[in-house]
Amino acid sequence: MPTLVYQCPSGLSGDMNLGAMIALGVDPIQLEAELRKLPYEGWKLNFETDIRQGISGTRCNVVLTHTPTHGHSHSNVLTTQSHSHGEHHHRTYRDIRTAIENSELSQRVKDDSIACFRALAEAEGAVHGIAPEAVHFHEVGAIDSIIDMVGAAVCWDLLNIDRIVCTTLEVGGGTVQCAHGRMPVPAPATARLLEGKPFTSGGTYKETTTPTGASLLVGKGAEFGATTTGTQTKAAIGIGQRDDPKLANAVYVSLIDEGANSEQADKVWELATNIDDMPAESVAYLCEQLLKAGALDVWQTAATFKKGRQGCVVHTLVENNHLDSVEAIHFKHSNTLGVRRQEWQRSKLKREFQKLSTEWGDVTVKVATLPDGSQRHKFEYDDCARIAAANDMSIESVKAKLEQISKEA
């Protein structure tokens, strides 16, 4: 599975990212077909070659067909920022999440899309003092941001991307006009999203990294400032809308094959907390929230604590870029007064996601390569459950049928 590397010396926005993904090899027809699975109309995608300060790349336009002119900046996607469209309905983060969950998009695309929207909603909610679920998205802005975020997730899925690295990120400088007046760059939501992340500023006195662009990187769990080792298999350039004389408005992306070795090594953190005063359903809810916040895995072990109290230890495995946010979930959703952390060196098999075409639609297959070069695979449970429910079959019979289809393919 290739690693996707972002170099953003001119920042990142949602439309720049889509342009870069098309330049990297994503089929625009396939991208739009996937996006049409969402319950939203009044838009279309246009892609064209453009030049910024002598740099040629692919530019994306999200054209809103239900209004003659929208003049919309992709950095202004929420009601907290200015628009000139008159009165529009609004959608909350909860509304958009439900629409994505109820669509026919693959589970992987749903998960990545919702993670990006959640990152943005949490940042905006923190800035304005409201719950993420209550953050309102402007109707026109919401369509733009839905296309940007879900489109990114579709592209990552089509490219079989699991790991993303962002080597450089410029946020710009000066101020940006918002509904609450002029705000410093980076905008408050962008600054919140990038807490603890390395970036540069002052390359130009304009906003270069939008809240949407930042939420794509953060929501997908990009490793900021990390390095890669391997062979570059493809490189491409995405072009932004603005032609800035001080900075070529472009994002540079590449696919890196980090080697044919079947074993890969990385470092992860294990968080642990003792719980002896919460009901089982509350502990289960805590575990659910930890996974939603980006934990790799969560499990419980039974334990006996002081005074003979029966309880459990909740263990959470998390990558460094999600460490602080996942740790905070422990304090928010449990009665614990402390969380232990320990860093582990981890070896893992090289894996990739493939698509298996069936009479019930595409099924995601995770394929792992063992040290001896042999492979083993596993069908995505959510896809198996969907097929079983729709066809009155057991999950085991679905898996058996998929095995047969896989052998014949």
At 143, phi and psi to the nearest 5? -60, -45
What would the CATH number be for the domain defined by 264-347? 3.30.70.1380
pLDDT above 80: residue 291: yes
Residue range 370-398: mean pLDDT, rounded: 93
CA–CA distance, 285 with 283 (Å, rounded to integer)? 5
Looking at residue 257, its pLDDT comes to: 86
Looking at residue 179, its pLDDT comes to: 62
10 Å CB burial of residue 279 (0-12, 13-18, 19+) is exposed
Q: Which tokens belong to 103?
A: 């669509």
pLDDT in tens, 167-223: 999 999 998 877 667 889 999 999 999 998 999 998 888 999 999 999 999 999 999
Nearest CA to 159 among 25, 263, 287? Answer: 25
Place of tokens 């263990």: 315
Hey, what amino acid is at 368? Answer: A
- Arithmetic mean of pLDDT over the chain: 88
CA–CA distance, 388 with 396 (Å, rounded to integer)? 9
Looking at residue 409, its pLDDT comes to: 76
Looking at residue 84, its pLDDT comes to: 36
pLDDT in tens, 119-178: 999 998 998 899 888 888 754 457 888 999 999 999 999 999 989 999 999 999 998 877
At 353, phi and psi to the nearest 5? -105, 135
> pTM of the predicted model, to two decimals?
0.65
Q: pLDDT-based confidence at 12, cuts 50/70/90? A: very high
pLDDT above 60: residue 383: yes
Q: Enumerate the CATH 3.30.70.1380 domain ranges in the chain, comma separated.
A: 264-347
Residues 6+ apart with CB under 8 A from 328: none
Phi-psi region of 239 (alpha: psi -120 to 50; beta: other; left: phi over 0): beta
Residue range 299-317: mean pLDDT, rounded: 93
Residue range 278-298: mean pLDDT, rounded: 95
pLDDT in tens, 223-265: 998 878 778 999 999 999 988 888 899 999 999 987 645 455 5
Place of tokens 């049928």: 401
Q: How far is CA 26 from CA 23, 47, 154, 224, 256, in A?
A: 7, 12, 9, 24, 16
Looking at residue 370, its pLDDT comes to: 87
Please give the residue that has the higher pLDDT: either 351 or 299. Answer: 299
Residue range 18-46: mean pLDDT, rounded: 95
Looking at residue 85, its pLDDT comes to: 36
Would you tell me how many other CB atoms lie within 10 Å of the CB of residue 263? 12
Q: pLDDT-based confidence at 306, cuts 50/70/90? A: confident
Query: SS3 sequence, the chain?
Result: CCEEEEEECCCCCHHHHHHHHHHCCCCHHHHHHHHCCCCCCCEEEEEEEEEECCEEEEEEEEEECCCCCCCCCCCCCECCCCCCCCCCCEEEHHHHHHHHHCCCCCHHHHHHHHHHHHHHHHHHHHHHCCCHHHCEEEHHHHHHHHHHHHHHHHHHHHCCCCEEEEEEEECECCEEEECCEEEECCCHHHHHHCCCCCCECCCCCCECCCHHHHHHHHHCCCEECCCCCCEEEEEEEEECCCCECCECCEEEEEEEECCCCCEEEEEEEEEEEEECCCCHHHHHHHHHHHHHCCCCEEEEEEEECHHHCEEEEEEEEECHHHHHHHHHHHHHHCCCCCCEEEEEEEEEEEEEEEEEEECCEEEEEEEEECCCCCEEEEECHHHHHHHHHHHCCCHHHHHHHHHHHHHHC
Of all residues in the chain, what percent carry a pLDDT higher than 90?
67
Place of tokens 């920022």: 81
pLDDT in tens, 234-244: 999 999 998 88
